[in-house]
Structure 1
């Protein structure tokens, strides 16, 4: 058994041509420190917040220098090979077949039918996030897609998710929003969101998974990111979940920051999907 429920986000990493630049950027914006590069595993370098592992950065594999930088979310699996077969049976693609990573665990990379890429992680010695939902650590993730029906059907076939739809309510900010929440175990344990991409997204932007990292001050984090060469895509904006903003780092990897201590408005109503 894993320490994370099947299908729950359990780890995140990103590939950067300029790893030292990425370390400087995220060290400033999120307060991360970094361990020694693991030369045995392609100079994979873990990031820490208050001494706890929260993510990792790595240079491209040989031949992958032209790949765009992007954060990759890993979903927990008790059997990566079985999950990989479910991915294929549900219409997804395997970008990397299941492989053993030393004693740390086993992984695969997959793409859901509408295009968003994610990882699958079966833990060994490396269980995953050592803290979540605290400053400097992973908080939440959402699948952004133009084909929500494809993504929804796939996710429910591959992982034991329960789905609920967020009711848009009377707020003009959420009018017409198509948003689902996936939970594991029961509806009281939400682990992943799914947002339909609208016309505000340029057509060349593919489906992707947006990772949210917790910060003590959203506005301050945005200013640090911009000062370091990052780009603000959206926000800062208040919500019942916290004050958040969507950004890209100087190498183009998209991410979001959220201050969960500043909540505004009532929690939205959810209905079974």
Structure 2
């Protein structure tokens, strides 16, 4: 299915109580990669991961919010707006992870969209040092050209 559901998030006003409830109910495990936000995992089994945190829209109901994978949050938000959506979060980058947006469809149902960050480029390997050129053999010394014998001085008779 294109644009599959990839993440789900609980917008809650009582994070501690929510964590306690779901840990007891489903044995979910939690980590906190950043202040005010908790990631939840389902272990090694099937299913998408998710998170819990305060609702980004003040006064909005406490609810589970699913996220759909998109290629571009900005383009999808623009398209949703043209089709009658009410935009709640236009574009919010999440460092080293991606970006998200949230809207209400024309019926009032909330949906999140998620754009995965491109994988970090692997650092370029340093070029292997060039092998030192084999030392050149020393050239044999050139033989000096034979010297001309100097003419013997002429003797006077």
CA distance in 1, matches of 2:19, 2:104: 27
Asked if 1:69 is matched to 2:62, the reply is: yes
CA distance in 2, matches of 1:6, 1:80: 15
Residue 155 (structure 1) aligns with: none
1:97 to 1:89, Cα distance in 2 relative to 1, 3 A:
same
Residue 18 (structure 2) aligns with: 22
Asked if 1:34 is matched to 2:33, the reply is: no
1:103 to 1:37, Cα distance in 2 relative to 1, 3 A:
closer
CA distance in 1, matches of 2:2, 2:72: 9
Q: Which of 37, 40, 49 is the aligned partner of 1:54?
A: 49
Residue 215 (structure 1) aligns with: none
1:79 to 1:9, Cα distance in 2 relative to 1, 3 A:
same
- Greater strand content: 1
CA distance in 2, matches of 1:122, 1:37: 19
1:6 to 1:78, Cα distance in 2 relative to 1, 3 A:
farther
Q: Which of 72, 78, 87 is the aligned partner of 1:85?
A: 78
For residue 107 of structure 1, report the CA deviation from its aligned partner. Answer: 0.8
1:125 to 1:49, Cα distance in 2 relative to 1, 3 A:
farther
For residue 37 of structure 1, report the CA deviation from its aligned partner. Answer: 4.9
TM-score by length of structure 2 reads 0.67
Q: Which runs of 5+ in 2 are unaligned?
A: 120-157
TM-score by length of structure 1 reads 0.40
1:59 to 1:91, Cα distance in 2 relative to 1, 3 A:
closer
> Which 4+ runs in 1 deviate beyond 6 A?
none
Residue 227 (structure 1) aligns with: none
User: CA RMSD for the aligned pairs?
Assistant: 2.2
For residue 100 of structure 1, report the CA deviation from its aligned partner. Answer: 1.1
Q: Which runs of 5+ in 1 are unaligned?
A: 127-273
Aligned residue for 2:49, secondary structure, equals strand
In the TM superposition, 1:180-199 aligns within 5 A as none
